[in-house]
Amino acid sequence: MTTVLVWAGVALIGGIGSVSRFLVDRTVTRRLARPFPVGTLAVNISGAALLGFLGGLALSKDAALLTGTAFVGAYTTFSTWMLETQRLGEERRTWAAVANIVVSVVLGVAAALLGQWLAERL
């Protein structure tokens, strides 16, 4: 049974994850200044690596909920990735839209595997 304290932790840690996403996306986007959504890509790849790492650890149910679901779930952003991809398509930047999908999936899976591999070595 999930306690009130765990639910409060999910709300707090989820908030921290979403603010972290905003800061990372903004920092990467400003530094690279590209029309391609590099900020979202950086967030989602780093989130995949972190979730793979957490998945490779023997965490309790509550710890997995707080770290994986609350933090990483709020940090990563599937919906923004899809919206940005759709907008690239609307702008007739088909290759950029396809690249956003392919690069995100390939690097995301690789990052998750790397994170899990690192955690298993601890």
85 is in an annotated binding site: no
C-alpha torsion 115→73→31→107, nearest 10: 40
Distance CA 62, CA 7 (A): 10
25 vs 19: CA distance, rounded Å? 10
Question: CA 27, CA 31: separation in Å to the nearest integer?
Answer: 6
Q: Which of 55, 56, 54, 71 is nearest to 120 (CA)?
A: 56
Q: What is the DSSP letter of 92?
A: T
73 is known to lie in a ligand binding site: yes
What are the binding residues?
73, 76
What are the binding residues for Na(+)?
73, 76
